[in-house]
Amino acid sequence: MRLKDIIAEIEETKVEGDPGIEISGLAYDSRRVNSGDLFCCIRGFNTDGHEFAGRAQAAGASAVMVEERLPGLSLTQVVVAETRVGMARAASAFYGHPTRKMRLAGVTGTNGKTTTTYMIDSIFRSAGYKTGLIGTIEYRIGDEVFAVERTTPESLDIQRLFASMVDAGVEAAAIEVSSHAIDLARVEACDFDTLVFTNLSRDHLDYHGTMEEYFKVKRRIFERASGRDVARVINVDDHFGRRIIEETGPPHIRFSYKDKVEVYATDIDARADGSTFELHVSGAQTRVALRLPGMFNIQNALAAAGAAYSQGIGIDIIKAGLEALAAVPGRFERIDCGQSFSVIVDYAHTPDSLEKALLAAREITTGRLITVFGCGGDRDRGKRPLMGRIGTQLSDYAILTSDNPRNEEPGKILEEIAEGVRPLNGNGYHIIEDRRLAIKEAIARAGNGDTVVIAGKGHEGGQEIKGEIMPFDDRDVARCYLEGLQG
């Protein structure tokens, strides 16, 4: 493909060299450059791609995309205002604008993104579409599953994924859209048909600094969609959702479990082992029996119903899709080895999500609620005491343990979590730094009618310590100790 065609939709470009040269591929990692590539020089958190342009030239690149002209290079240079935006639009063009060839639903918010995308995917499948999925747990093309590197990949990788979906006959896809993905232009060139806002609560403040800045990044994607043929599906039970509507203007599809809006729920029976409710979608209604637990999943179901409705899918198919989804890995996932108490693994790693998970667990607990939780290292330290307070106040017994300490000392993280416990803790708690031993202790303490919640890591198969990811899956560890009890 000729360079000038690849960069045609990038604003304010300046080409130094031959815009008519043929480009055989795109790359942003100089170690992966092939002959004939366009190398995009991204300014990262730790390194600047501009420093590796010479290496890319030596590897055979035909052109580079830069934010400032680089002296000493003999290849064609495309100068753009922001390389991340330029790369996103170039990648979309290079791969034939794949998101224009399918129905695409994007889901953003602090909590509920993963489950909502799974629900949308299930509804799309019930409607007869071949589907694709990009999210925290997996990338999926039809029934083929691929490993995940990050919640939302770099724009070049994402356009390549969508192109693979188009080649495989995918007709509809759902994607989790993180705040980082918005801010770093990873979804800049995605042509969404519908965008969903689930909620906003404290998370990622190590990156955004304040809740207001975090909100502004989320709002940005809905501002861009304003005036275009993109359905915006918004949770109006959330304060920030109402702000998006006020600040970006109509039209919107609102969803709520409190108010009668475009999509809402009544006659709710929310339980931890499955919930039922009356679903109302633009005047039509039906009874839905979810196999997923808790009030938070009814909110996720309303979000998915709104997205499906925006794409012309009828309420009967929405009901079928919601009821077909049996579970989402690591999201309030039950671990059953025949024991006399419940064990639940959940990804809850924010104050809001931990509170919702523990309240849902309390609904099925006739005995004690025992919780294992921690906080990740190199992330927002301000949420640690909040997590400590919530985790201990809502549990009968809590065990504070290591999560993904990354480059921090686990003991220091645990001290900061415990700061939220000490002034007002009325229930028992214990600190066991070793996560494996913490899970073992929680299971050993449990008896008839109790519930053990293991929170924070959910589906993750590793624990990140000092730059290394050590194999560790909460579900496997729990099963090991539960099977030991049965043996």
Tens-digit pLDDT profile for residues 351-379: 999 999 999 999 889 999 999 999 999 99
Tens-digit pLDDT profile for residues 44-88: 888 999 999 999 999 999 999 999 999 999 999 999 999 999 999
Residue 32 binned pLDDT confidence (cut-offs 50, 70, 90)? very high
Tens-digit pLDDT profile for residues 313-353: 999 999 999 999 999 999 999 999 999 999 999 999 999 99
How does 231-257 read in b/e, with b if 16+ C-beta sit within 10 Å? bbbbbbbbebbeebbeebeeebbbbbb
Tens-digit pLDDT profile for residues 203-247: 888 888 999 999 999 999 999 987 778 999 999 999 999 999 999
Q: Which domains does the chain have, with CATH numbers?
A: 3-94 (3.40.1390.10), 98-324 (3.40.1190.10), 333-486 (3.90.190.20)
Tens-digit pLDDT profile for residues 268-296: 998 777 999 999 999 999 999 999 999 99
Say if residues 293 and 271 touch (Cβ distance below 8 Å).
yes
Whole-number average pLDDT of the chain: 95
Kindly give, in sequence order, each residue whose CB lies less than 8 Å from that of residue 186, ignoring residues fewer than 6 positions away.
84, 88, 152, 153, 154, 155, 158, 180
Tens-digit pLDDT profile for residues 398-407: 999 999 999 9
Tens-digit pLDDT profile for residues 133-168: 999 999 999 999 998 876 568 999 999 999 999 999
- Does 424 score more than 80 pLDDT? no
CA dist., res. 113 & res. 107, Å (int): 6
**Residue 241 carries which side chain, given as an amino acid letter?**
G
- Does 423 score more than 80 pLDDT? no
> How many residues can be counted in the chain?
487
Residue 190 binned pLDDT confidence (cut-offs 50, 70, 90)? very high
Q: Give the Cα-Cα-Cα angle 225, 298, 205 (nearest 5 degrees).
A: 55
Tens-digit pLDDT profile for residues 99-145: 999 999 999 999 999 999 999 999 999 999 999 999 999 999 999 99
| Percent of the chain as helix, strand, coil, to the nearest 5 | 35, 25, 40
pLDDT of residue 422: 67
**φ, ψ (nearest 5 deg) of residue 291:** -90, -5
Q: What is the DSSP letter of 70?
A: P
DSSP reduced 3-state for 79: strand
